[in-house]
Each structure stands twice: as C-alpha cells, then as structure tokens.
Amino acid sequence: MNQGISIHRELPLDPARLIVAELATNAALHGHVPGRSFRLALSVVPPHTLRIELTDTRGDRLPVSPRTTVDGCADSGYGLLLVEELADRWGVRCGPVPSKTVWAELDLAAEARDVTGP
C-alpha cells in the first residue's frame, strides 16, 4: 500500500501523526465550508525539518495560542495545546483569500538524537 510514497527513516512519526490528526480535525470542525475541503501538505525542509501544513477556506476564523484562551473549564481548545507541546514551532499564514494555512514544524535532527542517543 506504499503507492510510491517514501518515508524518511528519521521522521518522528508519532508526534507527526498526532499533529496531523489534530490539525485535520480542527480544519474539519472549524474551517469547513460546504462544498470545500482542506489540503494537507507534508514536506521535509532543509536541513532537517518536517513541515506539516493544513489549508482550509475559512481565513476569517484564525486559531489563537491555546495558552491565552484555554481555561480550566473549557470544553474545547485543547487540541492546539497538544500541537503546541509536540511541535517545535507552529503558526498561521493568511491567504490567499479566503483561505488560511495552519502549520507546524518538527526538528528531525533533535528527534533522531532522542531515538539514537547522544
């Protein structure tokens, strides 16, 4: 079932899977416009960074840092807290209108050191 996709052996799959799942869930719940979908892009950016991007068509609904919005009684908002904890960096890029892209990055070199040791 590979379908021509090669996976770099040092990719941090568990954090990446969780981040993709969370960003995709957010796009489906908060970025959905009837008749439109979202786009997932994964890329390895030199020198050693996995970049995850989710683009949806709700540029008018921007996520904010969960550290500033989640209170102890909130029913939602914890997904981006997970992304913030797992990713080395994350953010939002606006446009082109009417879309936005939520992105997260994982440093592959740091993950490889954690797995293989110093």
pLDDT in tens, 65-81: 766 655 555 556 678 88
pLDDT classification of 52: cutoffs 50, 70, 90: very high
* pLDDT-based confidence at residue 118 (cuts at 50, 70, 90): low
Which of 17-31, 44-58, 73-87 shows the lowest per-residue confidence on average (mean pLDDT)? 73-87
Mean residue pLDDT of the chain comes to: 80
User: In degrees to the nearest 10, what's the CA dihedral of 91, 92, 93, 99?
Assistant: 160
Alpha helices, H only, 1-118: 13-30, 66-69, 78-86, 108-116
Q: Specify the pTM.
A: 0.76
Count of residues in the chain: 118
